[in-house]
Copies of this chain bind each other. A is one copy, B any other.
């Protein structure tokens, strides 16, 4: 490609609404252009990156025997009503009516449509397994679109759907996709991690997220550096502490803690370690029976320095649906105001749920259910009954034991770019997608679904790879692999001739090269390509040529390397192979 036949448009400054570095750099590098809230035009430079991402995804999906088709963007409401998602999806599902008043969804994903396709196409177990995918525009009406392509409303996603005759088959298909994803993210040249994820309300037996590692990531990833264990924060199990609960050494005592409602300030006031305090969270679950609403109150206990994990709370018996107890209810049930709640003296029907760590504590500090007072020296069994329920309620922290017993946990931040999911029969049962098994009996299809956020990859790759000059693309998804920067091509026949020769040689070698023939000054030209992030640059100047040299500089290199014109193609190929 010659720059004069391409469209390059860079900016000195990012627009003020670009909050994160990938958004800022994509705007400055002319890769995207905002059309509306969460809606972007992919400019020629950005589209090249998207196409390279898509090509790698497509190759690996085909290699994994997935079959490409293309499902519509505008999908009839009736299908979404069959699975109940028309109601469940809420405002994120963009809905539209046609001229006859019929309702449609603009697809955020295509489980319903693919299930509709296969329920008429798949008749026999002989046709299985099958895996269909498409790469298509999606729309999700986010409440607060932000971060450019990271949380846009219109975006491109690859979504695949596998169909199997039984659970074992589905798990095998899942494994094939998991491995394909591993190859895809490896080929992208990105540091990534696959982590076990919670299955959420959809059920099913397993799911993994693929994250690009970046300090700026929204998600916390938990992993064990000395084993294979990895999970997202929602799903990472906090084991109980090993060993027995220490014996009590202190007497229960009521300490005045006026205006001191947080564990941090209580610990500071009492001069003790935060890890000796227990915080109390009051939740209420309501159930309706014969028109009568029954409330059940729960008191959750967490060590002062730990964080509550909402997903884990939802799995405690009785807490699938819960809310915070209101201040009015707190007064009525516990006789206390928030900040001074505690488990001592509470009675049925309150259920005390202790986090595994709290269950192993002795001589702890907790609220006294008396405004302005905390207990110190509290001990299970002596000052309060053993907790009715002991459960994993908290987020793990770095240094916790790994659930696989093979080391301690570490935490890093990631950006979710892929998700593989064992769906089971949730969709096939609600949509009656069955096949005839070997005995001629109808059975529901076992499904899996597998997504990659194509456009999000761009943002994630940049969050992981940038410096103060701009983007640093991995070569496999860079808009161009090599840029040629001739100095004064219009003035020097030598420069012109050598540049054209090198351009042709690189193209002949299958290198994706751009020749910057715009005639810009060197400083502006170099700044553009550093901002855009092309990984390899060759400067062709008359002085260098007279010394028998071209100047090669990798995007991460701090200095240029002189290379003889006769060696440069091989030199670049060697760099690209690294």
> What residues on B are CB-neighbors of A153 within 8 Å?
74, 98
> In whole angstroms, what is the CA distance A41 to B67 when docked?
14
> In whole angstroms, what is the CA distance A35 to B73 when docked?
11
> In whole angstroms, what is the CA distance A44 to B76 when docked?
21
CB atoms of A91 and B99 under 8 A apart = yes
> What residues on B are CB-neighbors of A9 within 8 Å?
121
CB atoms of A41 and B65 under 8 A apart = no
User: Given known contacts A74-B106, A117-B33, is B44 in contact with A69 (CB within 8 Å)?
Assistant: yes
> What residues on B are CB-neighbors of A42 within 8 Å?
69-70
> In whole angstroms, what is the CA distance A97 to B304 when docked?
46
Docked complex: A127-158 residues within 8 A CB-CB of B:
130, 132, 136-137, 139, 141, 143, 153-154
A405 lies within 8 A of chain B by Cβ: no
A256 lies within 8 A of chain B by Cβ: no
> What residues on B are CB-neighbors of A39 within 8 Å?
72, 74-76
> What residues on B are CB-neighbors of A50 within 8 Å?
70
Closest B residue, CB atoms, query A4: B65
Chain A interface size, as a band, is 35 or more
CB atoms of A69 and B91 under 8 A apart = no
A68 lies within 8 A of chain B by Cβ: yes
CB atoms of A35 and B141 under 8 A apart = no
> In whole angstroms, what is the CA distance A36 to B47 when docked?
31
A43 lies within 8 A of chain B by Cβ: yes
A526 lies within 8 A of chain B by Cβ: no
> What residues on B are CB-neighbors of A154 within 8 Å?
72-74
Closest B residue, CB atoms, query A145: B98
> What residues on B are CB-neighbors of A130 within 8 Å?
7
* A-B pairs with beta carbons under 8 Å apart, 15 shown: A5-B65, A33-B117, A35-B72, A35-B76, A35-B113, A35-B116, A36-B75, A36-B102, A39-B74, A41-B69, A41-B117, A44-B132, A50-B70, A73-B73, A137-B137
